[in-house]
Structure 1
């Protein structure tokens, strides 16, 4: 018999994967985590009061406030970005010491055009998981930023997984369906002739059969149900069924020893099959480890769903919320499955739900693209639904793992965004990025770009690197010219409405950001502006097509994050604002690591 593939039905607030998790009392007792350390990316402290209302005072953060420790805010490091903030939480150190100075940055001794990914940069100070494993503790990670995909010290986990194939849409009409000759199994009924068609996820997936059923005995051909299968024989089992009221399903296939999966959704289904639309989600490999954990996930909750496809023209904002909640539930369910089947002393976990929704639905300003009060209210309702779901997940984890100490953090807040600023285009206009003609002056001659300086940006932070002779392999600026060039740049940026402040590299020491990877100049945007590194010709400013951003001054109220702690070894007490640097010592204390 073919294995049934589980599907999720997600409503406005979602029906979580937690409802699927089997009773695990029969399992051999595993080590109960001393600490579960979970980060909700983009969980803004400004939103917390809405989660502490009387009806929620016994749920999630409200319960933690009564029984544990809920800080007034967590102050992120400079810059208030995902990679540096998470690495600082894991190390207790500022970027000046661990080297991750942004989500993306330029490193010395590389070409001026090269960028380094902050999520994969080798961390230069000791991390929490290394401190724990050095003491013989078992550590696991569910997609925690900064944890290497194949960290040998970890007992089990899932690396943050990237798509192998993009999403797509399959459209069918009645002409695409043929009468299904096979007899239906007794578990299926169709009062009109069963019809079938076929589709594939990608070139590796093989063919999936869709069988359309009419399950209403009303003497009218009206198809409402699709049966999905990996072969043409339903009598030996089938993968699952989807309808417009139960539209999601996870399809899997094997390729070169790896399981891949896509979450598909039925978007439209006319009863006469003249218009059928099937959304095929991004295809992801299952990279969980060890293999026993990988197999467990496939049997219980399927494959990695990935985040929302916000820019897909066939998906509505409500469906994007479904995707975000499904991904969030998947990560939380993987956390619980791993703990209950394998155990651990320390589990690191990650939830990107609120960052995803905040970037795309934080519409509150008339300067934002396509702003209207009605659209703003609709978007903010979706964003609040995400916050309610995050608070629900915190509560579920508390109930399911009551013997563990739970630390809840976020890496930054979120500010409304309205304008994109292109600093490299400005450099081009002012001659700091210059296109030279090689060989001759004819229009079709080969062009070579000469860089005197270049920006590498993430959100509201931009590092400006001078193309220095003694540092970059093809540097053209001497040490004597460096200060003059930097001063010219500062004078230019003072006049730009997007720029809050520009720091010389030497001035970043008090910020905890002085490191060889730091730019010769650090630019911080005013909230509402986003730095984009594109240097092709075009406008310097344009209206942003998304609605939330971070990377600004971390002391701003909009950038402040959350910190909460609860559990058998967490005394109840009020907390004022805490720094990111205080989190690691608290966790080490509970783990009895000096």
Structure 2
């Protein structure tokens, strides 16, 4: 604004001097046309100066694509799987990209998103995994990394409390102190929740909601108490629909050409959000082909009957035409948590001889009081929290799927990928549209992470049939591998479309540069794995007393805790015994090796990183059991370790499926996993690299060889002209010459 005023004053001064300089007679002789022309030119110059000199207020949109991996994106851009002119390709060609983005350690979603929102390493921000233990809580109590205090908390003689000097803080705290407007739509850490030390005495608040709330806050949704379920039906399950059903269909404007049939005994009954539901399903023939050809199922609650949807979040009854391969949403009317589900029909024979359908899990957005108005805004303009991609479906751990083919389950999962990313994108667009003056908008897209977990089958040591260990190497199912590759591609294309829709929402210049500074990152990369590891079984075999020691795993990362007296409120282990147990665990982890030549070479050790919690020199030191360093945070395990690529703590099946060539003893520890992709490994591994793309009015075209996720926060602060908090460990990137 100062520059603009300077421009105006200078032009006015120049004009005045011209008039002062002209002799009066000459001025009087100027024709009216000349005078008008002169004034017009002066006005044009003034307007031009204003448009050039007037600065635009910097605005930043940060988008996180969970699990997006540079090597995969480079490959897809080169092959044309991703369009170079849209989404990530557009950002790369119009702005900055990085060949490598060093992420946090361990490279897990909760930990690395906290790095993205704080600019601090895991050891500093204290969100050490997707699931871990707060050492001031009872020994058997875990906490989700998505609901853990950012920057730690204070451990005092009287118990745990909010820290007066947190070791890290979210970016929005400093920005809002400087009058900046911040919006967060499903971005981890911004949820408006009071974080409590659960199961401890009085459940004290260790981080209040006000520190996790921005100007417009939409928490990431979650499970509403009802898991997904499959149903295999046949013609014998149906009978003539009652007159009431047919009348309701007619009133809803539905046309049918064969007798309506309805499941005789109803579909299922359940309770969600303190309301009971009695779900019914009827079969319709909507094709006017003079044949009995049932092609559509309608799902409805017996109490409400069949009806069209009202205003959101209401959806009315769910009509699903099988050949469309698309689910239909179903809002659970009256539920206190405003929950909903959806139905997908994977196989519908025209004569109803085979009917396969899945009712997705019920989901809702947490109704945290601090952000309730924003949650209701989303429910009323976008809809209830859509069903997320559910890994239990392709892994067949969801009940009722026995008769479903692999392809049916894969199609179901792909439907969830498309519909959920679409939902998250619409939430993001609503957040942007409702807050056009936001200085920072923080957005999160769950894909391609989920699809990479399920379908990253790119290693010959991976069993393409999890139930058959022999399907490795030459025994792999090549057709299945080819299908899986298309599913990973779909995830990237879907995420890329989300990025493009956000670019469209903020607009671009004629040259294709976004009108706001858009930064797209991921939390981590991805790697295939072939072996599931049972650490508890291994430690037990090594003689570790598992009543005094707990191993909490997240992917290939583990925090091993010792129940220390004076730290955990129910601690039983003395300090001298603690030292012995810590050394025993360290020794065991260092010894774990894989001698099976089908999966390993030269009896390879399985652990890549092993770090003990540092101890003070004396047993009486008050900091005993609370030591930290660059790898160990306040709430890390007493031993923190990560496996080498190819191995993962998750994915073990029940019963275990032994690997090819393992003896009985090894099979207890190593087994065939139920899925294929993982992250959480050493961030220095190339596969764990995150992505970084940026373009906008304050960003030039260039390529960085390497950036770090801790650099994102200071870079945003530089763009918004706000000094970073003292806890920020990253360095602002120079995005413009």
Shorter-chain TM range is: 0.7 to 0.9
Instruction: Identify the residue that residue 492 of structure 1 maps to in structure 2.
Output: 588
Q: Does the CA contact (< 8 Å) of 2:364 and 2:384 recur in 1?
A: no
1:35 aligns with 2:60: yes
Describe the superposition over 1:274-308 as per-residue Cα deviations: whole angstroms up to 9, x where unpaired: 33233111011244754476355445455422223
Q: Work out the CA distance in 1 between the residues paired with 2:485 and 2:681.
A: 22
- Is 1:359 the counterpart of 2:402 in the alignment? no
Which residue among 309, 332, 339 is the counterpart of 1:253? 332
Counting matched residue pairs gives 547
1:539 aligned counterpart, secondary structure: helix
CA separation of 1:471 and 1:37: change in aligned 2, threshold 3 A:
same
- Quick check: 1:33–1:339 contact (8 Å CA) kept in 2? no
Q: Which residue of 2 aligns with 1:322?
A: 415
Matching of residues 148-547 of structure 1 within 5 Å? 148-150=191-193, 151-152=209-210, 153-164=213-224, 165-175=226-236, 176-181=238-243, 182-183=246-247, 184-185=250-251, 187-197=253-263, 198-199=266-267, 202-203=270-271, 204=275, 206-207=277-278, 210-229=281-300, 231-232=304-305, 239=317, 241-246=319-324, 247-255=326-334, 257-287=336-366, 290-291=372-373, 294=376, 297-298=379-380, 300-308=382-390, 309-311=393-395, 312=398, 313=401, 314=404, 315-343=408-436, 344-369=438-463, 370=465, 371=472, 372=476, 373-402=478-507, 403-433=515-545, 450-451=547-548, 453-497=549-593, 498-506=606-614, 512-531=630-649, 539-547=668-676
CA deviation profile, 1:405-431 (whole Å, cap 9, x unmatched): 211111111111111222222222222
Structure in which a larger fraction of residues adopt strand: 1
Tell me how far apart the structure 2 counterparts of residues 478 and 194 of structure 1 sit (CA, whole Å).
71
Q: Is the aligned partner of 1:142 residue 2:185?
A: yes
Structure 2 partner of 1:12: none
Unpaired segments ≥5 residues, structure 2? 1-55, 152-167, 194-208, 311-315, 466-471, 508-514, 594-605, 616-625, 655-664, 724-737
Q: Which has the higher contact order (CA 8 A, sep 6+)?
A: 1
Partners of 2:458 and 2:308 in 1: CA distance? 54
User: Hey, which of these two has a bigger chunk of helix by percent?
Assistant: 2
Question: Over residues 352-381 of structure 1, what are the superposed CA-to-partner deviations in whole Å (9 max), with x where a residue is unaligned?
Answer: 111111111111223223341332222122
TM-score by length of 2: 0.68
Partner in structure 1 of residue 51 of structure 2: none
* CA distance 1:578–1:271, shift in 2 (3 Å): same
Which residue is equivalent to 1:440? none
Change (3 A) 1:474 1:78: same
Q: Structure 1: any 5+ residue segments left out of the alignment?
A: 1-30, 435-449
Aligned mates of 1:202, 1:110 — CA distance in 2: 34
The CA distance in 2 between the partners of 1:174 and 1:458, in whole Å, is 45
Change (3 A) 1:318 1:593: same
Q: Contact 1:419–1:541 (CA<8 Å) still a contact in 2? A: yes
- Counterparts of 1:374 and 1:300, CA distance in 2: 38
- Residue pair 2:526, 2:688 contacting (<8 A) in 1 also: yes
TM-score by length of 1: 0.84
Aligned partners of 2:607, 2:327: CA distance in 1, in Å?
44
What is the alpha-carbon root mean square deviation over aligned residues? 3.1
In structure 2, the partner of 1:75 is 102
- Greater mean alpha carbon deviation, residues 65-74 or residues 291-300: 291-300
CA gap 1:527/1:43 in 2 versus in 1, 3 angstroms: same
Instruction: State the 1:251 CA deviation.
Output: 0.7
Contact 2:651-2:674 within 8 A present in 1 as well:
no
Q: Distance in 1 between matches of 2:335 and 2:500?
A: 40
Q: Which residue of 2 aligns with 1:128?
A: 171
8 A contact 2:454–2:675 mirrored in 1: yes
Q: How does 1:38-57 map to 2 (within 5 A)?
A: 38-53=63-78, 55=80, 56-57=83-84
Cα distance, 1:292–1:474 mapped onto 2, change above 3 Å: closer
Conserved? CA contact 1:419–1:543, under 8 Å? yes
Q: Are the structure 2 counterparts of residues 95 and 218 from structure 1 closer, same or farther at C-alpha, using a change threshold of 3 Å? A: closer
Q: Which stretch shows the higher mean deviation, 337-346 or 202-211?
A: 202-211
For residues 215 and 586 of structure 1, what CA distance do their matches in structure 2 show? 56
| Rg comparison, structure with higher value | 2
Report if aligned partners of 2:111, 2:128 keep a CA contact under 8 Å in 1: yes
